[in-house]
Amino acid sequence: MEYPELKRAVREQANRFKATTILIEDKSSGAQLIQELRFEGLHAVTRYEPKLEKIMACTPSPAQSRMALCTFRTKPNGLRSMCMR
């Protein structure tokens, strides 16, 4: 999703669900998005800085029979490892 679409989607979702808090990760394009939305009057925006590892749901390959939860860990040497559950 390109930045203008992302910004539009955040506004649409905020209006649709009457959001009182909108968490946006304060990294990369999120930092710019936070600044612009606040400047434009969307004060429900809150900076979010994750302190722990990122967890995401993965789509299984055809060979897998169920969904898996992937945990990504960054090691001290900068390499990332993945744990499938």
Task: Please give the residue range of the domain that contains residue 36.
Answer: 3-48
Same domain, 42 and 22: yes
Look at the chain and report how many structural domains it folds into: 2
pTM here is 0.59
Phi and psi (nearest 5°) for 17? -100, 10
Same domain, 9 and 37: yes
Same domain, 36 and 18: yes
Same domain, 64 and 38: no
Please report, in tens digits, the pLDDT of each residue of the chain (85 residues total).
899 999 999 999 999 999 999 999 998 889 999 999 999 999 999 998 877 665 554 455 554 444 444 444 555 555 544 444 4
